[in-house]
A and B are shown apart, each in its own frame.
Chain A
Amino acid sequence: MSEVRLQVQNLCKSFGITKAVQNVSFNINKGEVHALIGENGSGKSTLTNMLTGIYSIDSGHFILDGKEIHPKNQVEANNEGVSIIVQELGTLSGLTVAENIFLGHEARFVKFGIKNTGAMNREAQKLLDQYGFGRIRASAMVDEYNFEDRKLVEIVKATYFQPKIVVIDETTTALSQEGREELYKQMNRIRSEGNTIIFISHDLPEVLRMSDTITCLRDGVYIDTVKSSEIDEEGLKKLMVGREVTGDYYRPDYGEPVSNEVVLSVQNVTVPGQIENVSFELHKGEILGFGGLSESGMHEVGKACFGASFDRTGTVKLYDGTSINSIPQAISHSMAYTSKDRDNESVVMNQSIGDNICLPSLGSLTSIPGILSGAKMKEFARKYAAEMSVKMVDTDQFVSDLSGGNKQKVVLARWIGKDSDILVLDSPTRGIDIKVKQDIYQLMDRMRKSGKSIIMISEELMELIGMCDRILIMKDGKINGELLRSPELDENSLIAKMV
């Protein structure tokens, strides 16, 4: 069990003068799931990217089963017995499923310079069937499948050749509960075959549940390696942040009554192919959660409330009877929205932080009517960027330079500046580290107390349970259950309604 598979020795990697990984050494054993944890930018991905040949090594060594390896690309890494499942989409559009699975290893199907497509498809289909993904057809274009199924294809691609080490880089955040279960099953199988998994995840309960050993990195420096049976969530947080995480993570209160005043009433809303006959009411000062599988339609509910759905029927009305049918209308009636797709739908990437914050409030930042005041814009942007403690050099800096957590802060600063009363937050903490997550939770709690109403859509069940007054669970485009805030509420009761 405790035979060493991979030795990481004095590993260093710099980008310019940023030391992304500094002199990191530790061992990874055979037949274990070894988790790598750390905040955004702690060097986890840099390390595994060097192992899998995506980045080159500055100095230091990877010793795999007693033999030093330094792969120059992913195919070479595969040949050494190392593979990776990446965070975002790792399959190539325009190729078939089979071509994706055997990418870089086509040679085995080539005879006399001609590729035997039939044999390749048969082989790929055999693998898919073995994995229990028989519904995916090997000969089909990978584009025909959704994000989840493409991830399953990647799992096959990364594991079919029995690699000695499989790196799973924050794959689970992109997956729904169902997809995660599939992934967990495969992880257990790989471990039982005596091979090793390096598991990167922000989700600490998941890390504790799935891994045998946990190594923590902070700012590119090795901190510690612990047995997961000997540590708890608080201990991990402390390792990652380097100090106790003070204060409450989620909101602490239970049993506070929610006002009866309805601020938003959604009746019989249908978006073809997405959601069907969804009706609910949002109260003043309430945090209303939406949970479900990724494809359950819950993300569309947020868009529908904000007037951003195409082809919507049914009504979305404010307390005074005003109908919300378009985005500008929603904004002018004090509604706000943050999208799950942060880079495309929330922040204008190639624009300054300042302009991003001011965008919906431009109407009020004028000196003479219609003429914008540069000074007022600057002051406005600075004020709300500071309120959200956005880490930046100046508000003139482009948003594309910021990390995911900071981008989310810019979006929130925009809506706080607009002083919106109804906030629709879709996956507000997706891919964000603990410190910023806590900031966002505390912000939501403050807003709730000041009488603002929040719709929170999330795939993370724990944060729904921790933050919401009421949780609506979506399944196949319909509301499938309602759960009220209570300390007894646990993930299983939510999952039961989801699947």
Chain B
Amino acid sequence: MFKHILLPTDGSVLSEGAIRKGVHLAKSMKAKITGISVMPEQKYYLYQTDIIVQVKEETVKQHRMQVNRNLAFIEKAAKEAGVPCETFCDSCDYPYEAIIRVAEKRACDLIMMASHGQRGIKGLLLGSETQKVLTHSKIPVLVVR
């Protein structure tokens, strides 16, 4: 029934677990997957002094490396299982917005994500981004533990 599963990742151990399960589900249902990792936009670098530009470039570079690592993990998992896969990087200060936007734009019919992400159990019982995706998504969401 599910034809296109969105797998958001922030590179955390739990999200890697969710990716494995997502790829397995996609394989069983003959669905394709889209992996997404969201980079912060960092609008707060407003003042363009030399030193800030330098810091910004450095952080953006680091974020990009992290995102590439995250997406490479999805691509590898999908390739091993023989599941068609696309990956996608988006910049947004609120990851949940980007996740829902991409899911809708790409006509995904399921979002599958871990209960917690990088910020771990600090987000208490359910991670904050997962909670927000659950609240705002019109597409079914599967929370993996």
Do A and B pair up? The answer is no
User: Which A residues form the contact surface with B (CB < 8 A)?
Assistant: none
